[in-house]
Structure 1
Amino acid sequence: MSTLQAQDVAEVFGLGQARARLRAVPGGHVHRMWRLDTDRGSYAVKEMNRQDNPEWMPWLQAAWRLELAAWHARIRMPEPVPPPGGGVVAEVPVADGPPATVRVHRWVNGRSISQPIDAIVGNWAGRTLAALHSLAMPAEPRWAFPPTGTTEATRWQELVELSKDAGAEWGGDLAALAPVVEEIYDLTQIAATRWLPDVLTHADLRAKNVLVAATGPVLVDWDMAAAKVPREDLAGCALSVSGWNQDDGPVRETLRQVIAGYRAAGGALERPLDVVDAAGDLGNEVDWVAAVARRAIGQGAQGPDDMERSAKLIPGLIRALPNKLLAARSLRWLLADQF
């Protein structure tokens, strides 16, 4: 349980006098989120789950550079609030433990949405991606960013055995995914041979990272910015926001509006998207299923609550993975008359 205090955050970031305690904001899968109200306004406070590896801070700093560039390019997003000394995060003292690593944004009043999003927001998503790609920011330092594709596909059988040994009810369903995982792995290997130029991008423009405010949609959560080939970034976004996890497939009009918005805003797309363009995101989905499965059986879980939450999530993730592959295979057909 965090003991981060509102006034401590306000003082470190120079935000005036706190008016109330921090209020927990639901929905964060990796970091704790809070609302801070002060005499100068309202702020979103992210208490970071700090990673003990040499890549994390350079990666976060690169994501911060993209976020600032996007803000100055007038992309719709919460205003980032740097600490007075500059940089992306600050260490905030905690009375009964080590300092908390914190970052802050202006609060945005908006409603969360889920996939599939409606076609109008889909068009905005495509336009937003085009604007991000036009920044043409290099992903530097290259070594700080996670590899594309999947790291878990080649260890799938090991994960299946671990889940069965742990008595997981879904162990058999995880085993049944093996052919799907193998096909996705093969696609990532094909994609890796294309050597297409990439850019630094948000990399996670998904329904979970969109708030709809009174003035329109807003893109949040920039910490996972990564190097992506623009057409692959577009494919992953379009499939996800149109509901590729659904049993009856993605909503075609939403998917098509993402592409239409992208092209209308100057995004370059000379040939139709296909399943290989979605390979990287499919690989990420494999790794996400594996990560949640491991946490559900206690590997890397942040306590019993995290294990319980992961155990509730994993059946739906297992069920959705074949749907996502099928949707990616259908990309050419879904977009046939747009090229």
Structure 2
Amino acid sequence: MDLSHLGAPIGPMIRVHGGFANRMYRLDTDQGAFAVKELNLLDRRWTYRAEDVFRFERAAFAAGIPMPEPISVSHDTLVHRWVEGEKMPEAPVSPAYAFEIGEILARIHALDVAWTHVSIEEPTSRDWPELAERATATGQPWAGELTSHVATFLAIAHFVDTCERPGPVVLTHKDIQPWNLLARAGRPVVLDWELSGMLNLSSELGSTALSLAKGPGFDDIKPAIFRSVLDGYVAGGGALPPSGPSWFVFMISGWLGHTRWNILRCLAGVEAGTGPDLALSHESVRNGVHGLPELFGRLPELEALLS
């Protein structure tokens, strides 16, 4: 990758581990510190529209959204100015932090940015029985649990394909989760905009509010934190969409696709040159195989958060 426009390096580029989809490095030069993201182009689940996302990021940064400054983009590399901050644990955030995230979402949704790309959603994969058989045949450590949940995964796929999404649709970040957030002086900084695009508003709000209101599982959901995100959204000028399962279908769909993608990487059994390390893919599969059936089973409880 050509990074000469960032200045003269004052040390080697350092790998920052932990990315779920791409690979991140820190580069320090005579012009400052930069986050250099090497985009995984080998086995992406969708086409990444780097220029469109970069334009959206530039508009958000210019509007004062708390985020790293976008510096440059190419077909395989994304560069931002490095931001220091505290990593957010996967645990319920403070009411004030949740409220401000809601306000930030309202400001993002109010941006006037043209977005001509309309994603075409393909039917959700139904090959879970075959994946379970391959996992068993290749001795994957999570094969037994996947096999026991095949019927549930098929039911989840059916739900994703048939759930009504009432709208409106907004241009948004689509992935505001604890691992894509920092705290700087206790206030949010929004990272990792690569998934940005058009999304049903209820799905964006539900995914964001739930992720900030719970711990790693679903035994510690804080309804007051969930509501704080929505209160912040309204205070920021947003209007809440109708209640219903569409608030959680995107979160379930995204986690389902992410789990399947990592299953395929594990079944291949090789350390890919880009994307997550193989050990992280195994961890993602274990989390999905265990967590998705639990999340799906709790849909009625989650919908009660909206009342």
**TM superposition score category, shorter chain reference:** 0.7 to 0.9
User: For each residue in 1:58-90, what CA deviation from the matched residue of structure 2 results, as whole angstroms up to 9, or x when unmatched?
Assistant: x222211211111111111001112xxxxx227
Partners of 2:199 and 2:241 in 1: how far apart?
A: 17
Mapped contact 2:97–2:186 kept (Cα < 8 A): no
Partners of 1:29 and 1:277 in 2: how far apart?
A: 23
Look up the SS of the partner of 1:231 in the other structure.
helix
1:105 counterpart residue number: 80
Look up the SS of the partner of 1:323 in the other structure.
helix
1:114 counterpart residue number: 89
User: For each residue in 1:152-184, what CA deviation from the matched residue of structure 2 results, as whole angstroms up to 9, or x when unmatched?
Assistant: 3x1111111111111223212112223432332
1:85 counterpart residue number: none
Partners of 2:175 and 2:283 in 1: how far apart?
A: 23
2:33 counterpart residue number: 42
Q: In structure 1, which of residues 211, 217, 225 is the aligned counterpart of residue 182 of structure 2?
A: 211
The alignment of Structure 1 onto Structure 2 pairs a total of residues equal to 304
- C-alpha change, 1:222 and 1:129, in structure 2 (3 Å) is same
Mapped contact 1:78–1:220 kept (Cα < 8 A): yes
User: For each residue in 1:269-305, what CA deviation from the matched residue of structure 2 results, as whole angstroms up to 9, or x when unmatched?
Assistant: 153x332321122111111111122222226861698
2:140 counterpart residue number: 168
Letter in 1 for 2:85: G
Mapped contact 1:130–1:262 kept (Cα < 8 A): yes
Structure 1 segments of 4+ aligned residues over 6 angstroms from their partners: none
- Structure 2 segments unaligned to the other structure (5+ residues): none
Mapped contact 1:236–1:281 kept (Cα < 8 A): yes
After alignment, is 131-140 or 214-223 more displaced?
131-140
- Structure 1 segments unaligned to the other structure (5+ residues): 83-87, 91-100
Q: In structure 1, which of residues 264, 268, 272 is the aligned counterpart of residue 239 of structure 2?
A: 268
Look up the SS of the partner of 1:196 in the other structure.
coil
Shift of 1:39: 1.8
Letter in 1 for 2:169: D
Look up the SS of the partner of 2:217 in the other structure.
coil
Look up the SS of the partner of 2:21 in the other structure.
coil
User: For each residue in 1:173-222, what CA deviation from the matched residue of structure 2 results, as whole angstroms up to 9, or x when unmatched?
Assistant: 1122234323323332333x546342221110111100112362100111
User: What's the RMSD between the two structures over aligned residues?
Assistant: 2.7
Mapped contact 1:121–1:217 kept (Cα < 8 A): yes
Look up the SS of the partner of 2:208 in the other structure.
helix
- C-alpha change, 1:56 and 1:276, in structure 2 (3 Å) is closer
Mapped contact 2:92–2:221 kept (Cα < 8 A): no
After alignment, is 38-47 or 117-126 more displaced?
117-126
Mapped contact 1:116–1:251 kept (Cα < 8 A): no
